[in-house]
Structure 1
């Protein structure tokens, strides 16, 4: 019941009721990735192509879609990774979660939130003053 209420009142936690209904009516399960996300297809979109979608395992985080599935979702390839021997390219890196808004977020040197604080001001800067 709790999972249903979360899906009813939040769009970022799994699937919404509209997605659940569309998946039940027209969805054909295509596969699952290493993160537990499940991929579906069925019906047609406004351009006449087969509609494709993902139901995330947990929070809806677009960066959790692996490159092979991303290509399939966006109609860049016709066959999903489950139907071909997909191997990532050597330049493709493993997934890192989006840490924005968390204590582990990137804070460059000089950021107000950086641990070391802002560097001391040197004499090479003159503040602007209106004439």
Structure 2
């Protein structure tokens, strides 16, 4: 019961009822990545009349976070490449790094030395700072 309620009332957690219906009616499964995200395109490779290109979309496994799309699939979704990674022997380049979640706003976020949110004692000011004053 809970998964169905989440599909009705949340858009950020997997797919909504509307996306599920659209995918069932017009979608063709292309593949799945290592994170469990599933990728679709319009059935038969049909082009959208308004866009002039084939529609492509992803149904996220869990929270909808765009940074969770691997580089190969990102290129396919954005029409940078025509062949999906599942349809070829795709190997990521050395400079393409695996996903790291965005931790901003969480207790695990990066807090540099001197931040008021960092643990420990904040170091004292060194005296090299002069505040700006209007009219100076």
Structure-1 separation of matches of 2:88 and 2:60: 22
Picking from 91, 96, 101, the partner of 2:100 is 96
Q: How many residues of Structure 1 are paired with residues of Structure 2 in the alignment?
A: 131
Q: What residue number does 2:90 align with?
A: 86
- How far residue 119 of structure 1 moved from its aligned partner, in angstroms, is 2.3
TM-score, normalised via structure 2 length: 0.88
Q: What residue number does 2:22 align with?
A: 22
What pairs with 1:1-131 in structure 2 (closer than 5 Å)?
A: 1-42=1-42, 44=48, 46-131=50-135
Asked if 2 retains the 8 angstrom alpha-carbon contact of 1:45 and 1:51, the reply is no
* Consecutive aligned runs of 4 or more in structure 1 exceeding 3 Å deviation: 128-131
Structure-2 separation of matches of 1:117 and 1:53: 48
- How far residue 117 of structure 1 moved from its aligned partner, in angstroms, is 4.4
Structure-1 separation of matches of 2:100 and 2:53: 31
- How far residue 94 of structure 1 moved from its aligned partner, in angstroms, is 1.4
3-state SS of the aligned residue for 1:40? Answer: strand
Structure-2 separation of matches of 1:101 and 1:130: 34
* Structure 1 gap ranges (5+): none
Q: CA RMSD in A?
A: 1.5
